[in-house]
Amino acid sequence: MTDTASPSSPVYGAVEAGGTKFVCAIGTGPDDVRALTRFPTTTPEETLARTVAFFQEQPERPVAVGVGSFGPVDPDPASPSYGFITRTPKPNWSGTDVAGVLRRALGVPVVFDTDVNAAGLGEHRWGAARGLDTFIYLTVGTGIGGGGLVGGQRLHGLVHPEMGHVFVPRAPGDDFAGHCPFHGTCLEGMASGPALQARWGRAGAELPPDHPAWEIEAHYLAYGLVNFIVTLSPQRIILGGGVMHQRQLFPMIRHRVRQILNGYVAHDALADGIDAYIVPPALGDRAGVLGALALAREAA
Ligand code: ADP
Ligand code: ZN
């Protein structure tokens, strides 16, 4: 199988359904994105109508559409609410049948999963997780969420993991109340983009690289990663999302992870190999939409 296609071979549709914006694309892979559009996430009706219109306007009809969605979602193909956004704090979106609307309007199979499982799949096919069967893709943005593959399967379970809501020990001297509406001081409550804004009164992008915010941020993210390392034993961890544009965080997080593990997990990947173990997405900010394209390819 190759990832570049002749004009007559099938094309695939991709939808990165974010809480802030939607990204839609058609193509076959990173080097063959034939059209791409972005628009803000408004009401479900308007946003899904724009998504449908994008695909209907294309000269080529996709053979399948992949959707990587904000959540919580129902990712179980055997469930009656497969492809729904289930119960989200985002106004109007609870109970939205995203996959069903697209399937009925476009008449093609729709493969649906969490945004982070999709991004992980994209990285597996074309990026930083090639050749691995157990790895995590964690986004640190408006929220914190994790997905990926375990034993070669997209990470699901009872519903899907909510890795952003693990509990992490406080950084010394930190008395921030936390920003998660459900748990206060969980990882997302302490380290998401909105948590940075609430803690420092400025968006993360406006804090200089040597600001004390980043030591604290690295502390919480490192504890989160250690929890995932000792439970899932991932072969690699990919850190994406807006906050991870702060590239100085990578060496700080790697250093803290080694400190916290204290040599307990005996593998070179967690010692001298750590620079290749905790990495940014090779697909950059396109991981989500290309991941949705990789999902669509799974349908075929
Ligand atoms: P989303 O999570 O909504 O899909 P992003 O991954 O872009 O979108 O995350 C948005 C969050 O990341 C916002 O809270 C924003 O303040 C923060 N963010 C975006 N860019 C940066 C940056 N360069 N440095 C720090 N934080 C950033
Ligand atoms: Zn929480």
If asked whether residues 128 and 157 sit together in one domain, one would say: yes
Domain carrying residue 66 = 12-108
User: What's residue 6's pLDDT?
Assistant: 52
Q: In CATH, what number is assigned to the domain containing residue 62?
A: 3.30.420.40
Q: What distance in angstroms lies between residue 25's CA and the mean position of ligand 1's atoms?
A: 21
Cβ(90) – ligand 1 distance below 6 Å: no
User: What's residue 300's pLDDT?
Assistant: 74
If asked whether residues 144 and 202 sit together in one domain, one would say: yes
Q: What distance in angstroms lies between residue 143's CA and the mean position of ligand 2's atoms?
A: 9
User: What's residue 7's pLDDT?
Assistant: 52
Cβ(141) – ligand 1 distance below 6 Å: yes
Q: Per the structure block, which two tokens stand in for 41? A: 């996430």
Q: What distance in angstroms lies between residue 146's CA and the mean position of ligand 2's atoms?
A: 13
Q: What distance in angstroms lies between residue 34's CA and the mean position of ligand 1's atoms?
A: 27
Low-confidence ranges of the chain (pLDDT < 70): 1-7
Cβ(213) – ligand 1 distance below 6 Å: no
Within-domain flag for 49: yes
If asked whether residues 92 and 36 sit together in one domain, one would say: yes
If asked whether residues 175 and 250 sit together in one domain, one would say: yes
Within-domain flag for 1: no
User: What's residue 89's pLDDT?
Assistant: 85
User: What's residue 28's pLDDT?
Assistant: 98
Within-domain flag for 294: no
The tens digit of pLDDT for each residue in 146-176 reads 999 999 999 999 999 999 999 999 999 999 9
User: What's residue 1's pLDDT?
Assistant: 45
Q: What distance in angstroms lies between residue 280's CA and the mean position of ligand 1's atoms?
A: 14
Within-domain flag for 213: yes
If asked whether residues 78 and 147 sit together in one domain, one would say: no
If asked whether residues 83 and 138 sit together in one domain, one would say: no
The tens digit of pLDDT for each residue in 274-288 reads 999 999 999 999 999
- Tell me the residue type at 106: L
Count of domains forming the chain: 2
Pocket mutation for ligand 1, best pick of 69, 88, 243 (most atoms within 8 Å of C-beta): 243
Pocket mutation for ligand 1, best pick of 39, 137, 142 (most atoms within 8 Å of C-beta): 142
Cβ(206) – ligand 1 distance below 6 Å: no
